[in-house]
Structure 1
């Protein structure tokens, strides 16, 4: 099976840069004062920022791959500065198509911040 795993922390600066690129300036992602008053107590990552890291990993495994679909769930928050494990695992292959398990896990407690699947086409 083809797989790739990296450990990485995303910073508040990463959240802010992603907000600027995506236009998602929700204060839960970019305003520490606002976020401190929420149930999370601090800023949380954009879900799609997590997937963007995974997509970069997919491109390393399968250069030039084209995404055919994705299913993503975000059961727990990922916080700025928190150590995370990003994992991509091929679970099926059919000709030029691949199905990949995509997962982001908080290292401290093993909780999933992202649990999903990507379907890609490769040349």
Structure 2
């Protein structure tokens, strides 16, 4: 089976609903009221409820999983650049930019809402052939 190589790209998208934010809070244990309480969040610098940054970043993980082979995360540097709000659709794009030798690759990662970047960064992954087991 093929593995990811320099030049490979993948995309994933997810609509962020209030229910998705609530479920992410439940799973992660992050119950910061900026994510869960509209009245509270309205009084913050964000002027309303926002999604967890890691919820937006999870769309990057979904895009990585669409690269050829089995992709295993080794590390991820993230920059949270803009908030994601209920009703937004996050589109994550990943691009393999460098082979580090062996099965290790560097991948540029970006998540956007419309034309605005919400999360950017760089991942190091292993790309190994899928053995079909």
For normalisation by structure 2, the TM-score amounts to 0.82
Q: How does 1:88-103 map to 2 (within 5 A)?
A: 88-93=94-99, 94-103=101-110
Structural RMSD (CA): 1.5
Q: Post-superposition, which runs of at least 4 consecutive aligned residues in structure 1 deviate over 6 A?
A: none
Paired residue total? 121
Greater relative contact order structure (CA < 8 Å, 6+ sep): 2
Counterpart-to-counterpart distance in 2, 1:77 and 1:116: 16
DSSP-derived class of the 2:65 partner: helix
**Where does the alignment leave 5 or more consecutive residues of structure 1 unmatched?**
none
**Where does the alignment leave 5 or more consecutive residues of structure 2 unmatched?**
1-6, 129-133
Which of 106, 111, 118 is matched with 1:113 structurally?
118
More helix by share: 1
Higher Cα Rg, which structure: 2
Counterpart-to-counterpart distance in 1, 2:54 and 2:37: 18
Deviation at 1:34, TM superposition (A): 1.0
For normalisation by structure 1, the TM-score amounts to 0.88
- Which residue in the other structure is 1:23 paired with? 29
